[in-house]
């Protein structure tokens, strides 16, 4: 409605940008219970994810050590079935690295590093991470993040075209828009994705028969690892306190098995 009040090139471009955002936000994710921005079809995201997976598996050292591989092969199928997935349609590997890391890609791919597996006290803690990564894929977080980035880029291009050179004032305005997109949209949504993956992952591991209380133990351990962390509003991940508080709430509301 307010578009009528905007005049000239900037108003027209802003109207187009906003209409793109509205259309892109119409995909409803039933498991999350909310709409998602989705400019790119799921099939295309799966293709992009598979291409990225093929590339990363060439660059990373894939572990064949039974100490790690057998453990992941024991836990992952249980969690996948609990999430309503067919394990045969997923590709997951262990990467030989001391990095405390794991990641997922669209197209049903995820990897866990030996470094993070070394600090896991039991299979329940591995199920915590597997559930978290499976949740990212099922929730289409990758597609949503790409759509958010595309949307932010379109908005910045429209603003730059509308402002023009604008001297120092114009450049300051563009800088503010950039910071707003980064700290006001992209990072907070990333934190939202992490918390959603925590929630769904704990539900999956619980259904699979693993102890969700071990998720608390694991994330506390992760919180004490590494160096100083940035403030939450400048981080792609929620603070340790935020994450732990939500996990406690989720566990308290879990149905009996």
pLDDT of residue 151: 61
**pLDDT per residue as tens digits for the range 133-164:** 999 998 887 777 776 676 656 555 654 555 55
Question: What's the average model confidence in pLDDT over 35-58?
Answer: 80
Both ends of the chain: CA-CA distance in Å? 50
Interior CA angle at 255 toward 251 and 257, to 5°?
Answer: 110
pLDDT of residue 145: 75
Strand order, beta sheet including 109-113:
91-95, 109-113, 102-105
**pLDDT per residue as tens digits for the range 190-224:** 778 888 999 999 999 999 999 999 999 999 998 87
Out of 31, 60, 85, 133, the active site residue is 133
The DSSP line for the chain is -GGGG--HHHHHHHHHHHHHHHHHT-EEETTTTEEE---S-HHHHHHHHHHHHHHHHHHS-B---HHHHHHHHHHHHHHHHHTT--GGG-EEEEE--S---EEEETTTEEEEEHHHHHT--SHHHHHHHHHHHHHHHHTTHHHHHHHHHHHHHHHHHHHHHHH-S-HHHHHHHHHHHHHHHIIIIIHHHHHHHHHHHHHHHHHHHHHTT--THHHHHHHHHHHTSSS----GGG-SS--HHHHHHHHHHHHHTPPP-
CA distance 30 to 198: 17
CA distance 12 to 5: 11
Q: Which of 181, 138, 174 is nearest to 49 (CA)?
A: 138
Q: In which band, very low, low, confident or very high, does the pLDDT at 235 lie, cut at 50, 70 and 90?
A: low
Residue 204, φ and ψ in degrees, nearest 5: -65, -50
Q: What whole-number percentage of the chain has pLDDT above 70?
A: 66
Respond yes or no: is residue 133 known to be catalytic: yes
Domain locations in the chain as residue ranges? 8-34+86-252
CA distance 245 to 247: 6
Residue 84 token pair: 């309503």
**pLDDT per residue as tens digits for the range 71-109:** 999 999 999 999 999 999 999 999 999 999 999 888 999
pLDDT at 57 over 50: yes
pLDDT of residue 77: 98
Find out whether 96 and 148 touch, Cβ atoms under 8 Å: no
């Amino acid at each position: 409605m307010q578009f009528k009040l905007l005049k000239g090139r900037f108003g027209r471009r802003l109207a187009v940008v906003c209409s793109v955002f509205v259309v892109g936000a119409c995909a409803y994710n039933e498991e999350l219970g909310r709409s998602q921005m989705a400019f790119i079809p799921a099939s295309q995201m799966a293709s992009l994810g598979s291409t990225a997976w093929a590339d990363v598996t060439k660059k990373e050292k894939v572990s064949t050590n039974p100490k790690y591989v057998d453990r992941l092969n024991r836990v992952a199928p249980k969690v996948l079935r609990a999430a309503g997935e067919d394990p045969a349609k997923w590709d997951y590997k262990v990467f030989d690295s001391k990095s405390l890391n794991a990641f997922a890609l669209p197209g049903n791919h995820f990897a866990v590093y030996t470094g993070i597996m070394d600090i896991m006290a039991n299979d329940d803690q591995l199920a915590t991470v597997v559930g978290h990564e499976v949740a990212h894929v099922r929730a289409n977080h990758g597609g949503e993040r790409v759509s958010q980035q595309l949307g932010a880029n379109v908005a910045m291009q429209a603003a730059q075209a509308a402002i023009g050179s604008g001297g120092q004032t114009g450049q300051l305005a563009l800088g503010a828009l950039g910071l707003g997109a980064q700290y006001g949209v992209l990072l907070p949504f990333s934190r939202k994705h992490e918390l959603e993956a925590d929630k769904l992952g704990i539900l999956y591991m619980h259904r699979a028969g693993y102890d969700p209380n071990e998720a608390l133990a694991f994330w506390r351990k992760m919180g004490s690892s590494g160096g100083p962390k940035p403030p939450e509003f400048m981080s792609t991940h929620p603070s340790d306190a935020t994450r732990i508080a939500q996990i406690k709430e989720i566990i308290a509301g879990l149905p009996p098995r």
